[in-house]
């Protein structure tokens, strides 16, 4: 769906004369009308979310003077925003899908690499929080292509330190971006996004909403969807973006409706974080033969050991014995990291927050769209160990899990959403525009695939 024909949006301009409340209500009514015309199942609960919209705007406009009209921190000069990025920058008031409140992200800063871009580039799309920038740095050093990353910063209701902390986070992100540019690492495009939440909800990280923001800002026809805590095998971008190889890859991803799986590895948990990180770098910089030796010695293993179904279909023994791509059969729960056409990639479903089902259902949807999963014969990614996230701890720690080996209620809620989504995809009732605040934004459907020249692997 293109950008034409959309109703004009009122811009959020909090003021001191009480207009914030009226504006919030108007924005929600406008969004509800827009969603209804696009097939959203918007219940009466969606209208009650106006109360939350009022509160969010009041937090932004009255909790601190600098929230009244925060300037957008941007270095957009040599590479201006395209229409899809501009659409993603529009303020989105809170709303619901059914009875589920969707994430409401606010763009705080846009930082784009000033280095040259090429039509054959491949873009990593990923996301992380500010405290995980060190993980992003390691990935950036392993990848010479473009990287589109959404950086998350939560704001808390009635927290008087919001402004100070946000300003510090933006400054830290800008310094990080400047350093990556100076060192010639990946060509990094960053967007910093805030969200007003309860201080007790820090575990409820909006993975898929952030992935959609990164996807909307991807600067190439081919994307690599991978998490920020993974290292990429050296030279992969150069191999994929060579002019003839790039054309062949794009044809397979578009005309042949394929997604290319990169086998994922991790280090043995017994190694610990520090030693594991060293082993991960050793595996990432070595050859496939050396990786196999480390695999047989259990220094590296299939990702992820605690959820084997997530990558089992990749067929690791076959990977080590293959010199050409091979097809694998999708099974529910399979969630590999993939190369895919940006234009073919559906929006991630933003109902998934915190830990569980977020990537699984994205891959399930691609399978329902009749994409074929093909494993790359030489490329791979490897997880760099780190301290577990608050979302993971919220789901897999505490009395419910440690005594009865049962995850918390959150994972059951995510599973119910997943089951509903599966049923909708099977019956053909899942919204074509996706379940996202960016449903009105769409990449051009014009394909630039060229005739096959050589194999891309």
Confidence band of 53 (pLDDT split at 50, 70, 90)? low
Average pLDDT over residues 13-29: 42
Question: Three-class SS string for 228-275?
Answer: CCEEECCCHHHHHHCHHHHHHHHHHHHCCCEEEEECEEEECHHHHHHH
- DSSP reduced 3-state for 188: strand
Confidence band of 62 (pLDDT split at 50, 70, 90)? very low
User: Tell me, what's the pLDDT at 306?
Assistant: 86
pLDDT tens readout for residues 226-260: 999 999 999 999 999 987 888 888 888 888 899 99
Q: What percent of the chain has pLDDT over 90?
A: 62
Average pLDDT over residues 357-364: 97
Cα 108–222–172 angle (5° rounding)?
A: 25
User: Tell me, what's the pLDDT at 91?
Assistant: 85
Inter-residue contact 240 to 456 (CB < 8 Å): yes
pLDDT tens readout for residues 371-427: 999 999 999 999 999 877 666 655 566 554 555 545 567 788 999 999 999 999 999
Inter-residue contact 214 to 438 (CB < 8 Å): no
Confidence band of 77 (pLDDT split at 50, 70, 90)? low
User: Tell me, what's the pLDDT at 178?
Assistant: 97
User: Tell me, what's the pLDDT at 457?
Assistant: 57
- DSSP reduced 3-state for 382: strand
pLDDT tens readout for residues 80-104: 778 899 999 988 777 789 889 999 9
144: which residues sit within 8 A by CB, 6+ positions away? 186, 187, 237, 238
Least confident of 39-48, 279-288, 357-366: 39-48
The CA–CA distances, whole Å, from 127 to 151, 208, 338 equal 6, 9, 15
Q: What percent of the chain has pLDDT over 70?
A: 76
User: Tell me, what's the pLDDT at 402?
Assistant: 54
List of domains in the chain? 69-427 (3.90.550.10)
User: Tell me, what's the pLDDT at 314?
Assistant: 98
Average pLDDT over residues 339-349: 95
Q: Label residues 92-120 b or e (16+ Cβ within 10 Å = b).
A: bbbbbbeeebbbbbbbbbbbbbeeebeeb
d(CA 441, CA 451): 29
Average pLDDT over residues 105-131: 96
Between β-strands 187-197 and 258-262, what pairing exists: parallel, antiparallel or unpaired? unpaired
User: Tell me, what's the pLDDT at 78?
Assistant: 59
Is 322's pLDDT higher than 90?
yes
In terms of Cα–Cα distance, which of 186, 179, 251, 229 is closest to 392?
A: 229
Average pLDDT over residues 31-47: 50
Residue 88 backbone dihedrals phi, psi, to 5 degrees: -65, -20
Neighbouring-strand partners of residue 261: 338, 375
Is 333's pLDDT higher than 80?
yes
- What value does the mean pLDDT of the chain take? 83
227: which residues sit within 8 A by CB, 6+ positions away? 126, 127, 337
User: Tell me, what's the pLDDT at 412?
Assistant: 85
Inter-residue contact 193 to 210 (CB < 8 Å): yes
């Amino acid at each position: 769906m293109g950008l034409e024909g959309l109703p004009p949006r009122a811009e959020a301009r909090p003021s001191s004369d009480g207009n914030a409340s009226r504006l919030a209500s108007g924005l929600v009514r406008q969004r509800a009308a827009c969603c209804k015309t696009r097939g959203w199942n918007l219940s009466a609960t969606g209208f009650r979310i106006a109360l939350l919209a009022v509160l969010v705007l009041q937090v932004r406009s009255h909790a601190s003077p600098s929230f009244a009209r925060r300037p957008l921190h941007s270095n957009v000069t040599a590479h201006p925003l395209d229409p899809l990025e501009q659409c993603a920058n529009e303020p989105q008031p809170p709303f619901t899908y059914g009875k589920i409140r969707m994430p409401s992200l606010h763009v705080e800063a846009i930082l784009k690499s000033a280095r040259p871009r090429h039509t054959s580039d491949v873009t990593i799309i990923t996301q992380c929080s500010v405290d995980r920038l060190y993980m992003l740095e390691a990935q950036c050093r392993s990848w010479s292509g473009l990287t589109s990353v959404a950086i998350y910063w939560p704001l808390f209701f009635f927290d008087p330190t919001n402004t100070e902390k946000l300003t510090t986070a933006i400054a830290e992100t800008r310094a990080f971006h400047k350093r990556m540019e100076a060192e010639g690492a990946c060509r990094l495009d960053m967007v910093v996004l805030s969200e007003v939440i309860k201080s007790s909800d820090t575990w409820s990280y909006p993975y898929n909403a952030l992935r959609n923001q990164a996807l909307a800002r991807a600067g190439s026809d081919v994307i690599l969807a991978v998490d920020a805590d993974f290292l990429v095998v050296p030279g992969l971008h150069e191999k994929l973006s060579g002019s003839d190889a790039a054309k062949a890859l794009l044809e397979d991803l578009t005309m042949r409706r394929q997604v290319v799986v990169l086998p994922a590895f991790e280090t043995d948990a017994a190694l610990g974080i520090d030693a594991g990180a060293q082993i991960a770098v050793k595996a990432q910089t070595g050859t496939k033969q050396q990786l196999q030796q480390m695999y047989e010695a259990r220094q590296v293993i299939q990702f992820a050991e605690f959820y084997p179904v997530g990558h089992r279909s990749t067929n690791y023994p076959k990977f080590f014995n293959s010199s050409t791509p091979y097809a694998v059969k999708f099974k529910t729960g399979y969630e590999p990291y993939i190369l895919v056409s940006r234009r073919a990639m559906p929006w991630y479903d933003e109902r998934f927050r915190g830990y569980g089902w977020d990537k699984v259902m994205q891959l399930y949807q691609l399978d329902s769209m009749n994409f074929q999963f093909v494993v790359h014969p030489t490329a791979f990614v490897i997880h760099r160990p780190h301290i577990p996230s608050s979302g993971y701890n919220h789901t897999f720690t505490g009395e419910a899990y440690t005594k009865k080996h049962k995850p918390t209620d959150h994972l059951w809620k995510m599973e119910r959403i997943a089951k509903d989504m599966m049923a909708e995809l099977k019956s053909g009732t899942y919204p074509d525009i996706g379940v996202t605040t960016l449903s009105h934004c769409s990449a051009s459907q014009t394909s630039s695939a060229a005739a096959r020249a050589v194999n891309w692997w």
